[in-house]
Structure 1
């Protein structure tokens, strides 16, 4: 496979977040090798309905979604932790995809995708892109003669605040514009009762807590930090006003942590806000997309109405 460039240095971003009034860490740092493995465990938990609902949606509607793509298009998947959802589209319908470009910040996950795809789909060229897909990016030159069909499954777009949704969707329009008008299928977790939402982010087995705490291990590794994971605890809460689940890491005592030579003080009870997960209504998300220059080309949901996928047309 082609050499994979190292993702851009995020130390400045880490320090900016940890020195803000409300301390934060970028959610993309969840997904080192250990974080990816923990998230895979989360997707199989009884409380975590999202993956089951999305799989049910794809089982029922993958053919319809794939039929919307231009014939011979390249499938460009944003945030490709594995290829299973893309394969649902690659194998569906009669409009054959002729290339696959998984985009993610984790080189290890992309290398594993390439290895598996060589066996399962040897006829489909796969060119992974190691990139922070929140930033502008360019498709490989070998895709220049193909229409690009964007795919952003899961509920990752729920991690973005409205202004970040606008920026991301603008970048995607620029990336996918080429041989045909840009098209993007994006997954959204739909609004539902707090009694369903909170357990999905605070499971009885504690896997989500491990996942949240692991972000500190990742920061230790990439930013020369000395976080003691035992000094923090996982918190999950529903913010009804903002329409989002929030994950935080709460400091259990007054303590000082060093990050890349910078000393950062924590008060007891102070939190690092690690993730937002917005729960969108169909109409609310479409309004966001329209504000970024997209229009609706279709919408699908699972049988229980828990999860939705929008087809956006640029």
Structure 2
């Protein structure tokens, strides 16, 4: 069975408008910031896939270990008929869940949602070929904006992997989880991956690897802005920095100006002092009781919590009340 035609709710002009709005807001703020979603053009996606294979980058391996151990539990507990994946990318780890549901014979439809038309078209065709009995409906959309576009009906399981929820500020997380609950019916399920609080000596190298791949990935956001908005950033004049914030228990990725710099972007002249930081990502780390409380506040009751053997990464399974 071939994948169904993509359902597109996010057009190129929507992405362009969003980029302009974010760049204007972030570069005129104090301190300056940019959201991490603009890392991911084709080159950025390639770099991130490379990051996930680095020895320092434990989250992908740890989450995969959890799913390998507990995918059958997820299938048995939820009995889901429809699996929806947010920010699906290549859906590599999700295949562990698809395999488990195939063994249990319950799943009928897989719905990956992603902002990238090209990535989604490739992954949906591959999955449709690998799982010929499965209906595959790719949705092009932004999980912070298009949750109301999720297919309805049947017993649904929404999957949000990779610790991506940690890229949202606390108020953004609350808004996302509340929107997620509003999009679901009582009895539907949410499976969510969260990186856990641990020794910063383990965490920080995952965002500042010795080979410099993460540094190249971080600077890629400047290349995206140059290409899409005609800006004149010199990416090599910004140094990649990863900082652990113990108060908020998150890592901040920043780009630090090596010298005084003026950048022309949109109709702005943006000044950077030597040593000034541009924050490009936060990656919050969680405590098990904390994520349970955030889920409960949004109307989800956590039914299971699993970690990898080293306790690096947690996966929560919650039911919509």
Relative to the length of structure 1, the TM-score reads 0.94
Counterpart of 1:282 in structure 2 is 288
Counterpart of 1:208 in structure 2 is 214
Q: Distance in 2 between matches of 1:273 and 1:188?
A: 21
Give SS of 1:191's match: coil
- Work out whether residues 83 and 111 of structure 2, in 8 Å CA contact, stay in contact via their aligned partners in 1: yes
Once the two structures are superposed, residues 204-249 of structure 1 have per-residue CA deviations (whole angstroms, 9 ceiling, x without a partner) of 0000001100011112222332211112110001111110111000
2:166 aligned with 1:158, yes or no? yes
C-alpha deviation, 1:85, in angstroms? 1.8
2:137 aligned with 1:133, yes or no? no
Q: Distance in 1 between matches of 2:277 and 2:94?
A: 36
Structure 2 gap ranges (5+): none
1:44 aligned to which of 43, 47, 53: 53
2:78 aligned with 1:69, yes or no? yes
- Work out whether residues 66 and 90 of structure 1, in 8 Å CA contact, stay in contact via their aligned partners in 2: no
2:215 aligned with 1:173, yes or no? no
- Work out whether residues 7 and 137 of structure 2, in 8 Å CA contact, stay in contact via their aligned partners in 1: no
C-alpha deviation, 1:136, in angstroms? 4.1
C-alpha deviation, 1:176, in angstroms? 2.5
Counterpart of 1:6 in structure 2 is 11
Moved more, 74-83 or 143-152: 143-152
- Work out whether residues 225 and 260 of structure 1, in 8 Å CA contact, stay in contact via their aligned partners in 2: yes
C-alpha deviation, 1:31, in angstroms? 1.3
Counterpart of 1:105 in structure 2 is 115
2:279 aligned to which of 262, 273, 277: 273
2:197 aligned with 1:191, yes or no? yes
2:246 aligned with 1:240, yes or no? yes
Give SS of 1:296's match: strand
- Work out whether residues 7 and 140 of structure 2, in 8 Å CA contact, stay in contact via their aligned partners in 1: no
1:27 aligned to which of 36, 40, 61: 36
1:53 aligned to which of 58, 62, 66: 62
Q: Distance in 1 between matches of 2:230 and 2:135?
A: 38
Counterpart of 1:256 in structure 2 is 262
Moved over 3 A (4+): 2-5
Structure 1 gap ranges (5+): none
Q: Distance in 2 between matches of 1:258 and 1:130?
A: 31
CA RMSD of aligned residues (A): 1.6
C-alpha deviation, 1:113, in angstroms? 0.6
- Work out whether residues 66 and 95 of structure 1, in 8 Å CA contact, stay in contact via their aligned partners in 2: no
Relative to the length of structure 2, the TM-score reads 0.92
Counterpart of 2:92 in structure 1 is 84
Q: Distance in 2 between matches of 1:182 and 1:118?
A: 24
